[in-house]
Each structure stands twice: as C-alpha cells, then as structure tokens.
Amino acid sequence: MKKYNVIIVGSGPAGLTAGIYAARYNLSFLIIGKLNGGAISEAHKICNYPSQNNISGFELAQKMVNHVKELDGEIVQEEVMEIKKIKDLFKIKTNKQEYFAEKIILAIGKKKQKLKIKGEEEFLGKGVSYCAICDAAFYEDKIVSVVGGGNAAVTAALLLAEYAKKVYIIYRKEKFFRVEPAWIQQLKKEKNIESIFKTNLLEIYGKDFVQGIKLDNGKKLNLDGVFVEIGSSPEENLVNELNLKKENGYIVVDKKQETNVSGIYAVGDISNNSLKQVITACAEGAIAITTIYEELKLGEN
C-alpha cells in the first residue's frame, strides 16, 4: 500500500499550485484530475495573471503542469469515485485503482451549467458546444451564437469572431454581468459581433446538425452553432458524501482552507471564497499545503 502525505483531487491551478508547494516542502503527494490544467485549459485568453500580459488558458495550464513535473510531482489522469476515512487515513478510489493519504485537498472546481431546452442534448457535438476554444475553428465563415453574459461568454464570442462571419451574444439580462471593462472595449471593436439582450433561447433545432434557434421574443435565427456559457455550478457528489459544510453549494473553509471535517481542505472554485480567479485559486492551494506542512512536519518537532 502506497501512502502519501497528501492527495490533491483536481488538477487545475489550485491543485497544481498545491502540488508545487508540496514538492518544495518535501511532502509526498499525488494529484488526481480528469483534465490536466482544469477548466482554464479551455479559456481563450487570460490577461490578468501577473507576468502574463496575454496567454491562452491552455498554455498557462501547461506551464503549471510542467512546473509540477519538473519538481518530480506525480499527476494521474483519473476520476475520483469515492473518498472514505479509514482510521487515520483517507482511502481514495478512482476509476482505476485505490490510493491512501493522511490529508486530502479538494480542488474539484465547477461543472458547466446547461440550458435544459429542447435540442440541447440532441445536438451536442453537432452544433452545440460548451467549449469555444475546442470548437471555434470548425465554424470558419459560419454563423454562431453564444449564450451568456459573463466574462466566459464575452471571451468566447471574441474568439469565435476570429473564425465565424457572424456571432450573436444572447443574454437574458439588459446588460452584461460583471464583465471586465477591457473585454467590453474589445467587444465593441468587433464588427461581426451582435449583442441581443433581455432574450432567452427556447429551442435549438435542425436535422443532422444545428440549423437555428427559437427565441422567447418570437424570432428565429438561422445559424450553425450554439456555444453555451451561462456559468458553472459546484461539483457536489463528493462533497455530499463527505458531509462537508456548504454555503450555496460551495464548501465552507476557514482562513487556512480547512473544512469542518478534520484532514480535508478545499481550494479554488469549490471553496466559498468570493473571488473565483486563477490567481486566488493558486493562493488558496499554497495556503492549504502550508497548513498541512505545519501540521505534519512542524508538528513533529
């Protein structure tokens, strides 16, 4: 049985930073994640991370992954199915094997929300997408729509505008929600982007592929693709099984990133800290590992 000081569940910025700090503290650790780099791997551009004026989410994520590996950190791409406390250890069961650790850091992030309208599931991969950076290049000279009104929706529209001949942003409110002013300024410069406010999608229709959408203002738009960017919600399955205290779906943590369950920490988008950004996720990962180091190593002295 291989035992680690800490197992980090999630391989986004929070989990990867925790790994970097764990390596420097000489803690034995394992990072388990379904997607190396996490959700930022799908971000078109990141312009507010110190030292990186303009970098793709994928590139920034790979830099973090490489940093962990250069420190001989261990990362496996597996899905955690279950976490149980057995005496003084946690047993982590994945879709492939079992691991054991003294401490657990949950950096599991959030999952994309869906519209839950007719045609959404039917045309998934056939014109419906939740990842502009993955699929934008397939829409060269085509017409697409982005549904949503936050930073993710606006940046998706800006990326799609580099390929598509027309991009509609459809949002249910009367103006964009907490979008960084810099993105709004850039959006206004793009002639092939049109914003439609106070409007909802009712249906996505087509034959073999998406051909158009119906709106609640009575209109239809003929188009080839629908990109859904209406926000994310916390991953709750593991959280519920571990009886962790939650606040609006997010895990409640203290200043040391500790949860109400001894030995379990939460960092990044899954925690109840207010600002969900790459830089704060990284900071939380560093704080959690420092807390664990002080408990495991300094506590021995």
| Residues 6+ away with beta carbon under 8 Å from 66 | none
170 has which bridge partners?
147, 196
C-beta separation of 83 from 238 below 8 A: yes
DSSP string across the chain = --EEEEEEE--SHHHHHHHHHHHHTT--EEEEESSTTGGGGG-S-B--BTTBSSB-HHHHHHHHHHHHHHTT-EEEE--EEEEEEETTEEEEEESS-EEEEEEEEE---EEE-----BTTTTTBTTTEES-HHHHGGGGTT-EEEEE--SHHHHHHHHHHTTT-SEEEEE-SSSS-SS--HHHHHHHHH-TTEEEE-S--EEEEEESSSEEEEEETTS-EEE-SEEEE-S-EEE--HHHHHTT--EETTEEP--TT-B-SSTTEEE-GGGBS-S---HHHHHHHHHHHHHHHHHHHTGGG-
Give the span between the Cα atoms of 12 and 270, in whole angstroms.
11
Catalytic residues: 131, 134-135
Amino acid identity for residue 112 in this structure: K
